[in-house]
Amino acid sequence: MRDFNSAPLPFMGQKRRFARAFKRSINEIENVKVIVDLFGGSGLLSHISKFCLPDVRVVYNDYDGFRERLANVDRTNEMLRGLREIVSGVQGDKRVPDDLKDKILSFISEYEKSGFVDYITLGSSLLFSGKRATCYDELAKHTMYNCVKMNDYDVEGYLDGVEIVSEDYKVLYERFKDVKGVVFLVDPPYLSTDVGQYKCYWKLGDYLDVLKVLETDRYFYFTSNKSQIIELCGWIRDNIEGGCDPFNGAEVVTVENTINFDCGYTDIMLIKK
């Protein structure tokens, strides 16, 4: 199995910055029988889990349809080769003129008639950093730039040996919560953070519902300081009689992220072993 430290296709919110710390921690947990990735995202945590613990059952909940993108990578690479030809006369990272933008959209439209189009991956090659598209109309409304990837995407072996499901995380949790040796990976869309790539809309109650799965003894939970979930749980523990804090006693690992020169936030991984 190949060792990926980041997802092989573009994905907002993948956990590549935690890859080293996650590898270290997952190897430290004893008597692991099954790892359940409740909000699988790009599958990076599932991949790392299987790479580090090849004899452990790893269940990846494909919450965002990532496996369809992986399955169509040859088609996506074919499209990227065509896009390279279209923008060959445009300097790298420079704006694509309107006539070439029209040609790009016509090219993509023809592919859409015959099957799947990975707009997230194409958008990463055509849109300014931070901009995203999940469909033709979203892509068409943006200014385009020549950021086209110069080599093909290689996803070979990324999810080898991983069991892939696609279902409500609550159902998946109920099925495995009493299984001996289970470890849950809990990475829901962040509260108070852009979740535009996710196929859902999350309210505060949804985020709080997720905390119910932390009744288990062993988990990895991911959040950010923007959500203030940790502070909320600590306040409930200290101020409400009988209130509990699912994060009490958890190991905390943080990663700083910079948005621009005067703005940033902190990603947080909490670990109960």
The CATH code of the domain that includes 267 is 3.40.50.150
Question: Which comes out higher in pLDDT, residue 183 or 1?
Answer: 183
Strand (E) or helix (H) holding 263: strand 263-272
**Is there a single domain that holds both residue 122 and residue 210?**
no
Residue 47 maps to a domain: yes
**Is there a single domain that holds both residue 72 and residue 34?**
no
Give me the percent of the chain exceeding a pLDDT of 90.
70
Residue 193 reports pLDDT greater than 50: no
**Is there a single domain that holds both residue 121 and residue 215?**
no
**Is there a single domain that holds both residue 177 and residue 248?**
yes
Domain count, the chain: 2
Strand order in the sheet with 263-272: 163-165, 57-61, 34-37, 182-186, 219-224, 263-272, 251-260
Distance CA 154, CA 156 (A): 6
**Is there a single domain that holds both residue 259 and residue 174?**
yes
Residues 224-244 pLDDT 10s: 887 777 887 787 777 877 778
94: CB partners within 8 A, 6+ apart: 145, 146
**Is there a single domain that holds both residue 52 and residue 175?**
yes
86: containing domain: 68-141
Residues shown for the chain: 273
**Is there a single domain that holds both residue 97 and residue 190?**
no
Residue 152 maps to a domain: no
Residues 37-66 pLDDT 10s: 999 999 999 999 999 999 999 999 998 899
Residue 179 maps to a domain: yes
**Is there a single domain that holds both residue 213 and residue 177?**
yes
Q: What is the DSSP letter of 145?
A: B
Residue 130 maps to a domain: yes
Q: Which of 141, 157, 192 is the last residue of a domain?
A: 141
88: CB partners within 8 A, 6+ apart: none
167: CB partners within 8 A, 6+ apart: 61
β-bridge pairing 251-260 and 163-165: unpaired
Residue 29 maps to a domain: yes
Question: Which comes out higher in pLDDT, residue 259 or 69?
Answer: 69
Report pLDDT for 52.
97
Q: What is the pTM of this model?
A: 0.90
**Is there a single domain that holds both residue 76 and residue 52?**
no
**Is there a single domain that holds both residue 170 and residue 268?**
yes
β-bridge pairing 263-272 and 219-224: antiparallel
**Is there a single domain that holds both residue 207 and residue 80?**
no
Residue 153 reports pLDDT greater than 50: yes
**Is there a single domain that holds both residue 212 and residue 173?**
yes
Q: Which residue has the tokens 């950093």?
A: 129
Whether 19 contacts 3, CB under 8 Å: no
Residues 112-147 pLDDT 10s: 999 999 999 999 999 998 899 999 999 999 999 999
